[in-house]
Amino acid sequence: MRVGLAVRLAVAFAGVAVITALAIAIATPPIVGRGFAAVQSAPAVIPGASGGYGPGHGLGPGAGSPGVYAAQLQAETSTTITIVAVLAAAGASLLGVFIARRIARPLVRLESAAAALAHGNLATRSGLSGRGDEIGSLGRSFDAMAADLERGDTARRRFFQDAAHEMKTPLAVIEATAAAVIDGVYEHEGRHLETIRTQARLLSRIVDDLRTISLADSGALPLNRGHVPLAEIVGGIGTAFEARAAARGATLTVATPPTPRLVLAADRDRVLQAIAAMVDNAIRYAPAGGHVTVTGGASPSSAAMARVEVLDDGPGVPADGLEFVFDRFYQSDQGRDRASGTSGLGLAIARAIAEAHGGRTGVENLAAGGAKFWLEIPLVTAD
């Protein structure tokens, strides 16, 4: 059963108070009893002739009168009780310090972990996740934050490495071709200039895609939202990619939404860009004579969303890559066809555009082979 920190502190302070009270309660009866015993053992008071007290009648050592002796006895009793109270308070304080140190120890540990994290040690963890109280909850939150920072830093490093790798290739081709023409190795022919132009376009596309993702990450991706019929979006994809699929030797089938009143609350061009990235990916991986199908309709998981699905009968996505397929440059190490002019950022851009609209993307392998990519965008009610 979870015992909260507030309860533990309350119990600790109550324990200190109880211990102090018990010490005083235990010590008080014998002290008071000793005082009463002294009074009871004193000789009887014999009045003198003058109405005072005669010699030899004292109530205690050195007592001159009952009032003096009572005051002396009261002072001794008060002093003794005070000393006992001070000793009990000191003992309880030591116990409180011990308890406080035990309670503060995990907080000190968390402080050290936070300092290490602030100095760049992103692998630091609190070690408090196993506790069942508020400190354990704080430790788990800290560990989750540290893990997110570590993943983000790893992704950032990989992103820059991949971006440099992607841009290095077209730059190298441009430099080598230009140098060969200048040195006379190549003739001054149009095809060599075309090679340079093609690689320059690819480099420009990489830069544009990087800028799009950067804007999406910062929440500054400009969106010209409007009411866009889903059928119009899906139909436009068929027109744009029919020739590309045929050149690849694949068949592209587009199924318009069965419900014509499905209208997106979206930026038409951005949504087309996102769907185009998924269709382009499917065509590139579809086998010769294969099929790519694009469908649109209501989302099966939310009535407020429309879903566009892109299915292909290619090799599918490796099981260990399903969660990374929308990452930047994920396919760069899998022999992507550079001649196709892709930047390796298409699917990452599709996810960024969907999320900027408040939607989402996903992928799953099909039982019959191939993969299904999908994108969901919020709907509005058509007038």
Within a 10 A sphere around the Cβ of 375, how many other Cβ atoms?
25
CATH number of 226-381, picked from 3.30.565.10, 1.10.3260.10, 3.10.580.10, 3.90.180.10: 3.30.565.10
If you search the block for the tokens 């015993």, which residue do you land on? 37
Q: What pLDDT is stored for residue 30 in this prediction? A: 72
Asked if the model's pLDDT at residue 54 lies above 50, the reply is no
- Cβ neighbors of 120 (< 8 A, separation 6 or more) are none
The pLDDT score that the predictor gives to residue 292 is: 93
Residues whose CB falls within 8 Å of the CB of residue 292, separated by 6 or more in sequence, listed in order: 245, 250, 251, 252, 253, 279, 282, 283, 286, 310, 311, 312
pLDDT in tens, 123-177: 888 888 888 777 888 888 988 998 888 887 877 777 777 777 777 878 888 888 8
Do residues 374 and 362 lie in contact, with contact meaning Cβ atoms separated by under 8 Å? yes
Question: For position 373, what pLDDT does the model report?
Answer: 94
For the chain, the domains span 5-121, 156-217, 226-381
pLDDT at 50: 47
Q: How far is CA 111 from the centre of its chain?
A: 19
Pull the structure tokens for residue 275. Answer: 């769907």
Task: Label residue 68 exposed, middle or buried (CB < 10 Å: 0-12, 13-18, 19+).
Answer: middle
Q: Are strands 291-298 and 371-381 parallel, antiparallel or unpaired?
A: unpaired
Q: Which residue has the tokens 């939310």?
A: 302
State mean pLDDT over 110-129: 86
Q: pLDDT for 264-298, tens place per residue?
A: 999 998 999 899 889 988 998 888 888 999 999 98
Q: Across residues 214-237, what is the average pLDDT?
A: 86
Distance CA 321, CA 247 (A): 28
Gyration radius (Cα) of the chain, Å: 42
**Above 60 in pLDDT, residue 80?**
yes
Residues 87-101 have pLDDT tens digits of: 777 777 777 677 777
Q: Are 145 and 133 in contact (CB under 8 A)?
A: no
Q: How far apart are CA 69 and CA 59, in angstroms?
A: 7
How many C-beta neighbours within 10 Å does residue 339 have? 8
Asked if residue 124 lies in contact with residue 116, where contact means CB atoms within 8 angstroms, the answer is yes
pLDDT at 86 over 50: yes
Question: Whole-prediction pTM value?
Answer: 0.58
Q: Who has greater pLDDT, 262 or 4? A: 262
**pLDDT tens-digit readout, 300-354:** 888 899 999 999 988 888 888 888 888 877 654 454 444 455 566 888 889 999 9
* Residues 332, 165 contacting (CB under 8 angstroms): yes
Summary mean pLDDT of the chain: 78
Q: What is the pLDDT, as a whole number, of residue 306?
A: 93
